[in-house]
Amino acid sequence: MTSQAPGGRDPRPVVATDPRRTGGSGRRRPGARDLRPLLVAGLTAVISLSLVLAAARFGWLGPDVGRGDGFCEAARPGWIRQPANTCSNLAFVIAGLAVAWYAADRVRLGLTLGAHPGLATAYAVLVVLLGPGSMAMHATQSDLGGHLDLLSMFLVSGFALAYALMRFLHRGPGLMAAVFVVAVVLGMAVHLRGGSVAVLGHLGNAAFAAQLWVAVGLEVALIRRRSPRQDVWFGLASLATLTLAFVIWTTGQRDHAWCNPDTLLQQHGAWHVLCAVAAYLLFRHYAAERAAGIPDAGNRGAQRQ
């Protein structure tokens, strides 16, 4: 219950925030934002995009060995071998920057991310890196580019798995960091071992999918636990978008009847865009975590009693 402030001051409830954002007064300045997440993600985008474009231009990643040529688009002459599948990866950079912009308002980060805001910045950076990582393969079709593509994928699936397990076990970022490293190393080990599986193709894709499904299972368990309260709709929207992306991905193979190698409207490009949307929606699922009984909208902090 709020009380009328003396002296005719605004009686509306005060939102409790970080004193660093309020000048020590305890009252949040309207529009105050911590732009460090956006700065870090923005620098990551500029540096990584510059490096991958320079690598493609000057051949730093090695010769074209046809990596990624199974994703329908015909290789063009010049230093960007698959322009549609390359440029569509900018969607990941945009999604990562959108995550960083949202994370700039710490009050909106929810229970766990609010306590560990560095994790939100880390996630923004990893989503940004998905773009240049995939570009490295599609722009050059080099062997090293293919490894960077899978590495960027395991960075995100490793985060999703580690973050879900940290919350499931009620542990801190130390455990998450250890699980993250193990997930990335094991994923890359499976990828480098080689081999193929039905539908998914390369064994590395199967390892990536397995990590995501374990993360999904843990998120479902957290939702069923009910405390803290997890958002359902953002999580479902992320999963539905990723499922649609995978369906489209299966039609973007070189041997599929719908494959048109010479068009710039490639199904694999749509896969990139939809996966970027799914990554952003997953972050919104994370940020919507609330203590049981705390509303999601319009009440982003504790009200003064």
pLDDT tens-place string over residues 210-223: 999 999 999 999 99
Mean predicted confidence (pLDDT) in 78-84: 94
Q: How confident is the model at residue 291 (pLDDT cuts 50, 70, 90)?
A: confident
Dist CA 297 CA 112 (whole Å) = 17
pLDDT of residue 12: 39
Dist CA 170 CA 244 (whole Å) = 32
The pTM for the full model equals 0.85
Share of the chain above pLDDT 70, in %: 85
Strand, helix or coil for residue 129: helix
Q: How confident is the model at residue 290 (pLDDT cuts 50, 70, 90)?
A: confident
User: pLDDT tens across 7-27, in order?
Assistant: 444 443 333 444 444 444 334
Burial 229-264 (b: 16+ CB within 10 A, else e): bbbeebbebbbebbeebbebbeebbeeeeebeeeee
In this model, does residue 155 exceed pLDDT 90?
A: yes
Better pLDDT: 292 or 259? 259
